[in-house]
Each structure stands twice: as C-alpha cells, then as structure tokens.
Chain A
Amino acid sequence: MNNTFTSLFNQTSSSYKKWIQGVGTFGILLALIVICIALALCTPRFLTVSNLTIVVNQVSINALLAFGVTFVIITGGIDLSLGSMVAVTGVVAALFAHPDAYPLIVPLVMALGAGLMIGGFNGLVITKSKVPPFIVTLGTMTIGRGLALILSKGKPVSNLSDTFNFIGGGQVFGIPFPIIILIVVFILCSLLLHKTIWGRYMYAVGGNEQAARASGLPVEKIKMMVYILSGVLAGLAGIVLTSRITTGQPNAGQGFELDAIAAAIIGGTSTSGGSGTMTGTLIGALLIGVISNGLDLLNVTSYYQQVVMGIIIIGAVVLDGLNRKAV
C-alpha cells in the first residue's frame, strides 16, 4: 500500500505535469500558501493548531461534496442536487439513529443507500433521456428537498445516539473524526481518479465523448458511476453534518452544491470537462475555508465574504481560460 501511495504522488508529479501546468493546480497551491502567510502576519490567531483544526473540520463537508462533483464535472456533467441530497440523507440517517434503536451500521447504510439511489436516479435519467445534467439535477434538487421535508414531516429529527454523534463531533488522538474521514476519502478518490481505468475513462468521456465511445468505452456506465459517486459522497456529507449538529435538518445543505462546485473549479477542474485533479479540488476547498476563516478573524462581515468568494471563483475560471489559450 505504501508503495502505491508513493507511486501515486510520483505519477502526479511526472505524467500529469502537463495537466497541472494547464489547469494551474500549482498556481492554486501557491495562492493558498500566500494567503496563509498573509493571514498569519495579519492575525496571530490564524496560525495556531486549534484554529487550523477548526478550518479543516469546517472544510470537510464541502470537500466531500466537492470530491464527488469533481468526478461529475470531469465527465462534462454537473450536479446541482448535492445540497438537497445532504438534507435527505441527513434526515434518513437521523431517523435510524435514535438511541437504542438500531446498531450504528443501520443509519450509515441507509443514508449512503439513499445517496446512491438519488445519484443513480440522476445518472439513469441523464443517460437514458439525454436531458442535460443541469436540468435533471436541478429537478432532483427540488425533489430531494421535498423528500427531506416529507421524511421528517417538516420538523428537525433530534435525539440521536452518542455513537452516531461521535462521527461529526468526536476525536481520535485529538484529531476531529471528520478530518480522518476527509483524508481517507481523499486518498480513495485520488486513487480511483488517477490510478484506475475508471478514472481514465472519466477524463476520456469529458474530453471527447464521441471519441470515447468510438474507442469502445462504456460511456453510459461511466456517467452512471460518477452520479452515483456524487450521491454516495453527499450521503457521507449528510451523515457528518447531521452528526455534527446532532439533528437531522430537512432544511440543511441549502447552497452547498455551489460551494462544492466552486471548490472544484477553483482547484482547476474545467467546466467543459476532461480535466481536473482531486488534489486541486482539495486545495480549492481549503482555500475557500481559509479565506472565510481569515475574514472572520479579521472581523470582516459575512456580507463582504460573499463578494470576495464570488470574485475568487470568477478569477479562477478566467485564469483557467487564459491557461487553456496559452496551451
């Protein structure tokens, strides 16, 4: 396993060098470092272990969603139903997580299963009907919100077991559990995207769908797969969120899809498909987290934070476009 990891990162530095140059993963990492240094100089509270732990812990839910949507965007699609899936799966998890009701595995499997089914529904409609993913997932976004309200009867689902609440609130060796989930999922997603045929096929489908089909790739299967991945990861995010706030909230997750898409795009995933890396997306999510944390520490109101975030998203895409022209 150790070997696999080193070769993964070796590969990232050698044969994906072109992509990194093309989409600016290195640039975004540089931006993250510069901003961190600047914040450390501006406020002593930024560069402390406890503050950085808070940042990463806060980032974890957005990052999980962003990993899923990175797969989708690489194939040339989009998933707008992430936020609603977080709500549905969170409510589902909560419904099965009351103390002394079921073993811990049940709420987890049910929530992940709900994410899988909604993602599968997205994939099925997109591949069978040829309706653009934007429209399909826009519809699922509304459906999902409705389902969350139906399942919870419109009220927050509270009184959850302590074991369930550990997922979002507990610590292992002083590290918040969501951070551990984040790291494991990041490694798995990176391996899937960069080391397996499925990952390669995703780039091919997003880069040129016709050529991918003519090369004998199972294009429909790959599309199904990315929407299912997106759904399952949204389910995981739903579990972490519900556990962290110790309540299944049918109104949770509103707008989460936009933050996740922003993380992927800031991280260099091209909205036209065919390029992007998990590392980029992770850095994108961290960048968003660090900036909003930093602005908090500097007492900038959240109104201004939104303006800043919007400018960063547009800037990232403009840079991507310039890079593309240069290549």
Chain B
Amino acid sequence: MNSSEPILQITHLSKSFGGIKALDDVQLTLHKGEVLALMGENGAGKSTLMRILMGLEKADAGEIIFEGQPLKIRDVKDTLKKGISMIHQELLVVPELSVADNIFLGRETTRWLPGWIDNQDIYQKTENLLSTLSVALDPRAKMKYLSVAEMQMVEIAKAISNNARIIIMDEPTSALSDKEVAALFRIIKDLKAQGVAIIYISHKMEEIAQIADTITVLRDGQYVATKPASELDRNALITLMVGRQIDLLFPDAIRIKEEVLLSVRNLTQPGKFTDISFDLHAGEVLGLAGLMGAGRTEVARAIFGLDPLAKGDIYIKGQKVNIRTPQEAIQLGIGYVSEDRKALGCIPGMSVQHTLTLSSLKNYVNQGFIVNRLEQEAAQLMVSELHIKTAGLDQGVMQLSGGNQQKVVIGKVLLAQPDIIILDEPTRGIDIGAKHEIYKLIRQLTEKGIAILMISSELPEIIGLCDRVLVLSQGRQTALLPKEEATQQRIMEHAIHG
C-alpha cells in the first residue's frame, strides 16, 4: 500500500435532498492499491456519496481531487472514462447479450462499415481480459446463463477494460456462496497488486476484517472516523457506527393490553426468511429491526398477502387464518403502509380524496352508487385528523410532499378500520416535523388498542417507539428484546452477528 500519494481525496462534501442533509461535510481519502471499507448504518450516506462520485447525483458543496487534479464530474460516462467504475448491488447487465457484448456495450469496435461490430475483436479482447482475471468464461455465452458471481466477474472485467483506477463495490457478496466470495477476494487482491484502489461497501464484519486495509465510518450523513482495519474490532466499529444520543422526540408509551391480536408461527419463505414467530398484542408497538436485506419487508409482505408463504401459520385473535391476497388481509383487519409509497401506495392521476377512500370505498355506497358526500366526509376527516397539507381534496396525490403523501397513504389504511397496522419505514424520506406527527399518531392508535408492527432502519425510532424489538439477521430472528434491553448497541449486535 502506497500511503504517501492519495489517488482520491474528497473533502467538505455536502448534499441535501429537499431540506434533509444526506451528506454534511464528508471526507474520504483513498490510496493506490488500497481496499477501503465504507461503513455505516442504512441511511448514513454511503450510497449518496458513491452516487456523487459516479456522477449520478450532483454535490451541493465540496471538492474531489482525483490523481492530483480536481475532478469535474459531468455524468456516468465521463466518470467511467476517467477510470472510476462501480459494481452495483443490483447488477446492470443485458441478459440476452453475450459476455463480450456486455463488457464492450457502447464501446464496440467497428470495421468495414460504421456501426458494423467487429465481433472477432471484442471476443479476443474479452478472452484476454478474463484470462488476466483467471476467470474461465466463454465470451460468447449469453449473460442470462451466468450465475450472479459470474456476472459480477464480468462487471469487474468491464471495469478493468475501462482502465479503472478505482472500483466501487456495493455489497458485492450479498448473493454469493462462500466459495464464490473466496474467488472474489482473490481477484480483489490481484487488483490491489496492480495498484487499483477499491471502495468496498458491506455490512458483513467478517469480510471487512478479511479484506479491508482501512475503514471509513459515516453516520447520519457525517464523517465519523477513518482508521486502519487492524485497529478496529467489531465492538469498536459498532460503537462508531451507532454512537449517538437518542433524541427526546418520542411520546410516552402506553400500557400494553393482554389480548394477542396477531400471532405468527414459523413463517418461512425460502431464500427470504425462516421460522419467524412472534405475538403482537393490542396496544403494542413491536419493532422489526435488522439491516437491509435481513428479510423484514418480506415478512410484512407475506403477512399482508402480497407474497405467498411456503410454511407457517398466522392467527388473528386466536383464529387461524389463510391470507392469500391483500384484500383478504384488509377484511381481516390488517393494514399495511408500504416502504415504497410510490409503487404500492399512490396511484398517479388520482386525487387526495380518491386515494384516501380507495380501501374503504364500499362504505360510501348507496344502492350501487358512490355517494360523493359520504366519501368527501371520510376524506375530509382524515385530512384534518392527520393534518394533511393539501390544496383541496381534488389535488392530485402525486403533487403532495413526501410527508403528506405518506399521511394520505396512512389515512387510506386507517379508513379501512384495521386492528393491526404494519408500518414499513413509515418515516423514510420525510421531514422531521412530519416524522414527529407520525410518532404521535402511532401513540394515538395504540391508545385505541390498535397493534402496530413497525419496520424501521432508524434505530432511534425503533428504540423510542417500540415496546419490544424483534431483530432479524439474514432471514432469521436473532433476538426479541424487551424495551429495557433494546439499546442501539444490542440491536446492532444481533442484527450483524446473528
């Protein structure tokens, strides 16, 4: 490792999204042939930082020095040409094209006629590339027949063919077997030897210890520390990642009732989660904590009937039920506020009123026709109860701010009068004021005896609101912590170590 001359130096980088600071005065230094692990909780700003570096986002302020020169980032193509490549977690490949076609997509060699692809040449180049990586793959093979690990190798080959001096890897091992991880690490070591610098994003502590030279930690969009990997043990690292005060933002808890409203046993969906069992009481907020990809949303979707269950039983108020569709779930008194309100909550072109009443429309019908007055009253009630800021009931729902859209989606669920509400990342991407209103609302609902299952990646939120916390790690439940024991430290331990 050549620690004297940094290949990349980022200083004072800031970026806000609509008033929320995603990055605040962040720095990062990377040297030739170094593997730097970028660590932090979900939402710490890792992705935003990398997206800025790749030219997918524009920074508000700050400076990036690449190979001694200030880096002017125009777009992705420009970044690639300068020698910075990223292996995305969701691989971006064209399945119907060959390995070689994928590697040289947009940079094909041509001969004879403009646009006439010289296949001979790109196959030859691909073979050379793959042999330098010691990867045995047919350049002519269609991408869709490759395993995820092989596709990743192709992406790395593509990066090298771009003459990459820096390769960013975002959770590269999330879909790999142990053997494939070993092969990836061998290639990373080869790349290091050739002087390529690597920014490695991962939640897996074992891997970091194995592969990283340096660790940079971000938290809440701020730079925390950079240390040699050898100096940080797991616990020290977790403390760096979560070490912060919990805001006193949360209303007081209510007493939980005895009655069990929802009870699940051994819920299993192969490849997503295994043997999830818990009880949810009336008036309780049960937190579902874990890292991204731990299977939290998948559990919620399965309970709500959006995805089929392979195994396991669901009981509502002691009665065994079989939920196959969201329609059945809603009839049984379950409401679901999705983490993805654009995809699952809102319908483009629909007004605030029509969105609010969508799940409860049958209640406003007289002799087959919707009674506009009844529908309006219901929608108006939600607008005032939830303090939805809208120009009127006719306003298009997509024109509202994120926080107000979220309130409309919650209002839609509430109008169907559920006993059990699943909130999946209810405060993601909304401002602090709206967040607080949603916290208050959660308390009001539990006061009425409604049970809430809350998924959140924001630990302070989980700790502040939840009566108990169920921790998932890689699809398994690793702890069920009562409020007294649910500290950030302990939740993270269970989420990471299992």
**CB of A288 to closest CB in B, whole Å:** 25
Does B412 make an interface contact (CB < 8 A)?
yes
Q: Mark A187-209, 1 if CB is under 8 A from B, else 0.
A: 00001000111001101100110
Q: Which residues of B contact A208 (CB under 8 A)?
A: 343, 346-348
Known: A197-B361, A197-B362. A211 touches B343 (CB 8 A): yes
The answer to whether B347 and A274 have CB atoms under 8 Å apart is yes
A11 contacts chain B at the CB level, 8 A cutoff:
yes
7 sample A-B contacts, Cβ–Cβ < 8 Å, listed by A number: A200-B361, A203-B350, A210-B343, A213-B325, A216-B326, A216-B331, A216-B416
Residues in B339-383 with C-beta less than 8 Å from chain A: 343-351, 353-354, 358-359, 361-362, 365, 368-370, 372
CB atoms of A200 and B347 under 8 A apart: no
Bound complex: CA A11 to CA B351 (Å) = 13
Q: Is A50's beta carbon under 8 Å from chain B?
A: no
* Top 7 closest pairs, chain A to chain B, by CB: A216-B330, A207-B347, A214-B344, A208-B347, A197-B361, A216-B327, A195-B369
| A215 & B358 in contact (Cβ 8 Å cutoff) | yes
Q: Is the CB of A274 within 8 A of B348?
A: yes
Beyond A200-B354, A213-B325, A214-B336, whether A207 also contacts B348 by CB under 8 A is yes
B338 lies within 8 A of chain A by Cβ: yes
Q: Is B394 an interface residue (CB 8 A)?
A: yes
A197-B365, A216-B359 known; A203 vs B416 contact (CB < 8 Å): no
Given contacts A200-B354, A216-B326, A218-B327, contact A195 B349 (CB under 8 A): no
**Which listed segment binds B: A16-24, A94-102, A164-172?**
A16-24
A212 within 8 A of B: yes
Q: Once the chains bind, are A196 and B348 in contact (CB under 8 Å)?
A: no
* Distance to closest chain B CB from A242 (angstroms): 32
Neighbour of B358 across the interface among A15, A17, A191, A204, CB < 8 A: A204
Given contacts A15-B394, A204-B358, contact A211 B345 (CB under 8 A): yes
B338 pairs with A214, CB closer than 8 A: yes
Query: Could you say which interface size class chain B belongs to?
Result: 35 or more
A217 at the interface (CB under 8 A from B): yes
A159 contacts across to B, CB distance below 8 A: none
| B83 contacts partner chain A, Cβ-Cβ < 8 Å | no
Q: Which single member of B306, B354, B368 contacts A196 (CB below 8 Å)?
A: B368
Q: Are B394 and A17 in contact (CB under 8 A)?
A: yes
Interface size class of A (residues with CB under 8 A): 20 to 34
Say whether chain A's binding surface is mostly helix, strand, loop, or mixed: helix
| A282 → B minimal CB distance (Å) | 20
Which of B330, B331, B350, B362 has most chain A Cβ within 10 Å? B350
Cα–Cα distance between A203 and B325 once the two chains are bound (Å): 20
A residues touching B (Cβ–Cβ < 8 Å)? 4, 7, 11, 14-15, 17-19, 22, 191, 195-197, 200-201, 203-204, 207-208, 210-218, 274-275, 327
Distance from A206 Cβ to chain B, minimum over Cβ atoms (Å)? 9
Query: In the complex, what distance in Å separates the CA atom of A231 from the CA atom of B20?
Result: 52
- From 177 to 222 in chain B, residues with beta carbon under 8 angstroms from any chain A beta carbon are none
Report the minimum CB–CB distance from B426 to chain A (whole Å): 15
CA of A18 to CA of B397 in the docked complex: distance in angstroms? 12
Which of A14, A191, A217 is the most central at the interface, judged by chain B CB atoms within 10 Å of its CB? A217
Q: A9 to nearest B CB, angstroms?
A: 13
Instruction: Give B331's nearest chain A residue, CB to CB.
Output: A216
Q: Chain B's nearest CB lies how many Å from the CB of A87? A: 33
CB–CB B326/A15 < 8 A: no
Inter-subunit contact B349/A215 (CB<8 Å): no
Give Cα distance in the complex from A197 to B364, angstroms.
9
**Complex alpha-carbon distance, A15 and B357, angstroms:** 14
> Is B43 among interface residues, defined by CB-CB distance under 8 A?
no
| Contact flag A204-B350 (CB < 8 Å), given A191-B369, A215-B412, A216-B330 | yes
Question: By the criterion CB–CB under 8 Å, are A215 and B326 in contact?
Answer: yes
Residue of A19, A191, A203, A215 near B359 (CB, 8 A) is: A215
B349 x A274 contact (CB < 8 A): yes
Question: What is the bound-complex CA distance between A217 and B365, given in angstroms?
Answer: 16
Any A CB within 8 A of the CB of B6: no
Residue of B nearest to A207 (CB): B347
Add 8 more A-B contacts to A207-B348, A211-B343 (CB < 8 A): A15-B351, A191-B369, A197-B365, A200-B358, A214-B304, A216-B327, A218-B327, A327-B396
Q: A200-B354, A208-B343, A215-B412 are in contact. Are A22 and B370 (CB under 8 A)?
A: no
Which residues does chain A contribute within 8 Å of B122, judged by CB atoms? none
Chain A residues within an 8 Å CB radius of B338? 214
What residue of chain A has the Cβ atom nearest to residue B337's Cβ?
Answer: A214
- The interface residues of chain A lying within 8 Å CB-to-CB of B358 are 200, 204, 212, 215, 217
Bound form: Cα–Cα A6–B376 in Å: 18
**Is there contact, CB below 8 Å, between B347 and A18?**
no
Tell whether, in the assembled complex, residue B372 and residue A210 are in contact, meaning their CB atoms are under 8 Å apart: no
Contact partner of B349 (CB less than 8 A), chosen from A15, A207, A216, is A207
In the complex, chain B residues whose CB is within 8 Å of the CB of A215: 326, 358-359, 412
B169 CB within 8 Å of chain A? no
Residues of chain A within 8 A of B329, CB atoms compared: 216
Q: CA A207 – CA B393 in complex, angstroms?
A: 18
Minimum CB–CB distance for B115 against chain A, Å? 29
Q: Which residue of B lies closest to A275 (CB)?
A: B349
Q: Determine whether the beta carbon of A204 is less than 8 Å from that of B326.
A: no
| Contact residues in A for B346 (Cβ distance below 8 Å) | 208, 211
- Taking a contact as CB atoms closer than 8 A, the residue among B325, B349, B353, B370 that contacts A197 in the complex is B370
Whether A217 contacts B327 in the complex (CB less than 8 A), given A195-B369, A197-B361, comes out as: yes
Q: Which residues of A contact B416 (CB under 8 A)?
A: 216
CA distance A191 to B365 in the complex (A): 13
A22 and chain B: residue at smallest CB distance: B349
Give the nearest-CB partner of B416 in chain A. Answer: A216
Chain B residues within 8 Å of A327, by CB: 396
Q: Closest Cβ of chain B: how far from A220's Cβ, in Å?
A: 9
Minimum CB–CB distance from B300 to chain A (whole Å) comes to 11
CA distance A216 to B323 in the complex (A): 12
Interfacial chain B residues near A196, Cβ < 8 Å: 365, 368-370
Closest to A19 in B: B349
A197 to B350, CA, bound (A): 14
Q: Is the CB of B326 within 8 A of A214?
A: yes
Q: How far is the CA of A98 from the CA of B348 in the complex (A)?
A: 51
Closest B residue to A23 by CB, please name it.
Answer: B349
> Chain B contacts of A275 at CB under 8 A?
349
Are A18 and B370 in contact, CB atoms less than 8 angstroms apart?
no
Contacts of A210 in B (CB 8 A): 343-344
Complex CA distance for A227 and B101, rounded to whole angstroms: 42
Q: Which residues of B contact A213 (CB under 8 A)?
A: 306, 325-326
- When distances are taken between beta carbons in the complex, the residues of chain A under 8 Å from B359 are 215-217
Complex CA–CA separation, A203 to B361 (angstroms): 13
Which residues in window 39-73 of B have CB below 8 A to A? none
Q: Tell me the smallest distance from the CB of B200 to a CB of chain A, in Å.
A: 34
The answer for the CA separation of A207 and B396 in the assembled complex, in Å, is 13
Q: How far is the CA of A31 from the CA of B177 in the complex (A)?
A: 64
Residue of B nearest to A17 (CB): B394
B327 with A18: CB separation less than 8 A: no
Contact B370 A200 (CB under 8 A): yes
Chain A hits for B349, CB < 8 A? 19, 22, 203, 207, 274-275
Which of chain B's residues have a CB closer than 8 A to the CB of A19? 349
**A197 CA to B346 CA, complexed, in Å:** 17
Residue numbers in B under 8 Å from A274 (CB-CB): 347-349
Cα distance, A4 to B365, chains bound together (Å): 13
A22 to B338, alpha carbons, bound, how many Å? 28
Smallest CB gap from A220: residue in B? B325
Measured in the bound complex, the distance between the Cα atoms of B355 and A274 in whole Å is 13
